[in-house]
């Protein structure tokens, strides 16, 4: 019934004792039942262990290269709800207060991504702000890009990401009537910004796929964009 390969962790689902979570070196954390059905696949990287928080309804997984991932029981990564992004030196982690910098935001944060060259940090909050920090000047004010992508509980959190070769940012738009520049009948586009100036460069829209594109990721060559509603 296990996830395959070497089983590295096993926990019953505290909300349904007919189900259990398994982690495996095969590369997944899964929710399964005793009939052998896989009900949900949570992660796709080699996981060494897992735990489940009943109070927070969170699944915690750790892999063999030092990453810890928090996921809601519906499989979504848990965002930062204390409105900060923290910078750590993994060689000097001594506890939860041993971070190097704490970058305060006005709203909880969905995602933080270093640029391919490591020179910039891109963050996406749960309201209407994308930030670009300089990796050598954490104490300096970041570049701010106003953008509508508000949080909604039944929507996959919207996350801005980098182009792998150019200083471009791509992010899905969730039109907000309360957003300053909102227009009537605004489309749910995929927006591309210049990472240096914050200027809008392109807007992509497919009338056959008019949903909110929460996740957008370029392939390593940067010539193909995959989008998820």
**73-115 residue pLDDT tens:** 766 655 566 788 888 887 787 777 888 889 999 998 888 889 9
Could you tell me if residue 36 is left (phi over 0), alpha (psi between -120 and 50 degrees) or otherwise beta?
A: left
Residue 154 has pLDDT above 80, yes or no: no
Q: Do both 120 and 206 map to the same domain?
A: yes
Q: What is the CATH number of the domain that holds 111?
A: 2.130.10.10
Residue 114 in domain: yes
Q: Do both 143 and 224 map to the same domain?
A: yes
**Backbone phi and psi for residue 20, each to the nearest 5 degrees, phi listed first:** -150, 155
Band of the pLDDT at 183, cuts 50, 70, 90?
confident
Residue 2 in domain: no
* C-alpha closest to that of 42 among 32, 28, 53: 28
d(CA 229, CA 222): 20
Q: Do both 115 and 223 map to the same domain?
A: yes
Q: Are 171 and 161 in contact (CB under 8 A)?
A: yes
Residue 17 in domain: yes
Q: Do both 214 and 134 map to the same domain?
A: yes
Residue 195 C-beta-side C-alpha neighbours within 13 Å: 24
Q: Do both 165 and 66 map to the same domain?
A: no
> pLDDT value at position 1?
43
Q: Which two tokens stand for residue 13?
A: 């689902």
> pLDDT value at position 160?
94
Burial of 143 (0-12, 13-18, 19+ CB in 10 A): middle
* C-alpha closest to that of 123 among 155, 160, 152, 157: 160
Buried residues in 17-53 as b, exposed as e (16+ CB within 10 A) = eebbbbbbbbbbbbbbeeeeeeeeebbeebbebbebe
> pLDDT value at position 185?
87
Residue 137 in domain: yes
Q: Do both 144 and 209 map to the same domain?
A: yes
Q: Report CA Rg, the chain.
A: 19
Q: Do both 112 and 166 map to the same domain?
A: yes
**Backbone phi and psi for residue 92, each to the nearest 5 degrees, phi listed first:** -125, 20
d(CA 63, CA 29): 10
> pLDDT value at position 52?
79
Band of the pLDDT at 196, cuts 50, 70, 90?
very high
Q: What is the mean pLDDT of the chain?
A: 83
> pLDDT value at position 3?
46
**Tens digit of each residue's pLDDT (9 = 90 or more) over 12-57:** 888 887 888 887 777 678 888 888 888 888 765 555 667 777 776 7
Residue 99 in domain: no
Domain with 22 in it: 7-72
> pLDDT value at position 48?
60
> pLDDT value at position 105?
93
Edge-first strand order for the sheet with 38-43 is 7-12, 19-24, 29-33, 38-43
Could you tell me if residue 83 is left (phi over 0), alpha (psi between -120 and 50 degrees) or otherwise beta?
A: left
Count of the separate structural domains present in the chain:
2
**Tens digit of each residue's pLDDT (9 = 90 or more) over 118-143:** 899 999 999 999 999 998 788 888 99
Residue 173 in domain: yes
């Amino acid at each position: 019934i296990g996830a395959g390969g070497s089983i590295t962790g096993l926990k019953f689902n505290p909300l349904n004792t007919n189900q259990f979570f398994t982690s495996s070196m095969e590369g997944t954390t899964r929710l399964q039942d005793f009939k052998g059905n896989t009900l949900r696949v949570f992660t796709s990287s080699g996981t060494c262990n897992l735990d489940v928080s009943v109070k927070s309804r969170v699944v915690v997984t750790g892999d063999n290269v030092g990453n810890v991932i928090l996921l809601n029981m519906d499989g979504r990564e848990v965002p930062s709800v204390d409105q900060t992004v923290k910078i750590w030196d993994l060689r000097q982690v001594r506890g939860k207060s041993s971070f190097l910098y704490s970058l305060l935001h006005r709203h909880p944060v969905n995602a933080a991504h270093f640029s391919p060259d490591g020179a910039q940090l891109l963050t996406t909050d749960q309201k209407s702000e994308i930030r670009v920090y300089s990796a050598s000047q954490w104490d300096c004010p970041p570049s701010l890009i106003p953008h509508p992508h508000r949080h909604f509980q039944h929507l996959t959190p919207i996350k801005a990401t980098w182009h792998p070769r150019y200083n471009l940012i791509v992010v899905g738009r969730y039109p907000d009537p309360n957003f300053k520049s909102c227009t009537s009948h605004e489309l749910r586009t995929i927006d591309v910004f210049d990472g240096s100036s914050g200027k809008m460069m392109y807007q992509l829209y497919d009338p056959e796929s008019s949903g909110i594109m929460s996740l957008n990721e370029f392939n390593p060559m940067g010539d193909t964009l995959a989008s998820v509603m």
